[in-house]
Structures are given as C-alpha cells and as structure tokens.
C-alpha cells in the first residue's frame, strides 16, 4: 500500500515505524513521533489514541496482506512456474518495502506484549492464500496431489523468508554471489519440478 505523505495519518504512521525501528518501542515517545511527522502530539492522539494503537495501525496498513490478496485475486494465471515466480518476486518486493516493520518484529517481538500476534497474522493469512492456490491447482489437474497442503505452503514460505532474512539481516551476500533473481528462479523451478503432474505416457504404452 502506498504511503501518502500529504495525508496526516500516513505521515504519523511512517514516522512511528521509522523511529521505533531505529530506537525501539519504549525509547520513542508520542511527542517525538509527532515532531518527526510535523504535527502536534494532540493531532497524533486524535488520530490513533495511544502509541500501541499507532503501531498496530501501521503494521496492518503497511504490511503485505492487502497487496498479496490483490495479487492472488487478479494476477494468477494457473501456471505453477509463472504464478510462483510472480508471487515470490512480489513477496520479496513487499518485504523489502516493509523492512522496518520486520526490524521492529525482530527487536521488539518479545518486549511488547501481543506484538508477535499482531504481526504474525499477516504471514498466516498469506499461508491460507497459498494453500487455497495449491488446492485449486490440484482440482484443475495442474499439480500432483499433496496430502498436507499446509506443510507444502510453509515449505514455500520458509524458502522465501529464509532468503530474505539472509540477505537483509545476516549479510547473506558474504555466503553467496548468486543474485536474488537467480536464486528465486532456481528455487521456484526446483519447487515446481516436484509438483508438476506426472506424465502418463508410460501407462498409455
């Protein structure tokens, strides 16, 4: 979702994400967030009420669930390789865009009560979208039957998430010189090769 910096609410949310990612949730005051956004503290309270509500609103508005739902609704072409590569690229693009939210989750998840639950509902919703996609592909005969679709969806998500974390948080470029797109195409190709329906030519012969 795009940030409209002319919108007062969006400016406050954007300032909150940046400051909390940099300094930590407890170290940042609502007054500091308001100053960063160029508004009064009263305006911040009028829009969001509390710092916690402000953070929760920022996570829900700027994380990837809404954008990913639009992709599954409007961009799927029922081709395993094309769809999974498109989904993979969109996921990485949105995760990079929301890098500060990931930083907040990693740094503050165990310090702010309920924060992990707030953030984790987004990957849970993405998992459900992927499960539904795989189920539809099975019904259409475009992918082999897999009994545990949730395990399959999680294998795909962990493949994407692990690569993202490695490159953005633990200096993954020191491990490999393989570019992100090269990795993604290879990983998706490997994944698809295990899911494509088996050819029945031997049975016909």
Per-residue 3-state assignment (H helix, E strand, C coil) for the chain? CCCCCCCHHHHHHHHHHHHHHHHCCCCCCHHHHHHHHCCCHHHHHHHHCCHHHHHHHHHHHHCCHHHHHHHHHHCCCCCHHHHHHHHHHHHHHHHHHCHHHHHHHHHHCCCCCCHHHHHHHHHHHHHHHHHHHHHHHHHCCCCCCCCCHHHHHHHHHHHHHHHHHHHHHCCHHHCCCCCHHHHHHHHHHHHHHHHCCCCCHHHHC
In the chain, domain spans: 8-60, 64-197
Q: Which CATH code, of 3.50.30.60, 1.20.1250.20, 1.10.10.60, 1.10.10.10, is assigned to 8-60?
A: 1.10.10.60
* Matching fold, domains 8-60 and 64-197: no
Q: How would you write the pLDDT of the chain (205 residues) with one tens digit per residue? A: 444 456 899 999 999 999 999 999 999 999 999 999 999 999 999 999 999 999 989 888 877 777 899 999 999 999 999 999 999 999 999 888 888 988 888 888 888 888 888 888 889 999 999 999 999 999 999 999 999 999 999 999 999 999 999 888 887 677 888 998 999 999 999 999 999 987 543 444 4
Which class is domain 64-197?
mainly alpha
């Amino acid at each position: 979702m795009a940030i409209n910096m002319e919108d007062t609410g969006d400016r406050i949310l954007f300032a909150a994400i940046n400051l909390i990612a940099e300094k930590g949730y407890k170290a940042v005051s609502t007054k500091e967030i308001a100053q960063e956004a160029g508004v009064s503290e009263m305006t911040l309270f009028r829009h969001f009420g509390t710092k916690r509500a402000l953070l929760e609103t920022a996570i829900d508005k700027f994380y990837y669930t809404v954008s990913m739902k639009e992709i599954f609704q409007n961009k799927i072409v029922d081709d395993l390789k094309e769809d999974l590569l498109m989904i993979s690229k969109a996921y990485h693009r949105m995760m990079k865009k929301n890098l500060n939210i990931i930083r907040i989750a990693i740094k503050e998840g165990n310090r702010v009560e309920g924060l992990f639950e707030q953030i984790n509902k987004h990957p849970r919703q993405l998992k459900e979208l992927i499960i539904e996609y795989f189920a539809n592909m099975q019904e259409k005969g475009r992918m082999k039957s897999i009994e545990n679709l949730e395990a399959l969806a999680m294998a795909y998500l962990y493949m994407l998430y692990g690569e993202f974390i490695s490159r953005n948080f633990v200096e993954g470029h020191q491990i490999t010189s393989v570019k992100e797109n090269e990795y993604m195409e290879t990983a998706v190709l490997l994944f698809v090769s295990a899911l494509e329906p088996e050819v029945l030519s031997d049975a016909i012969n």
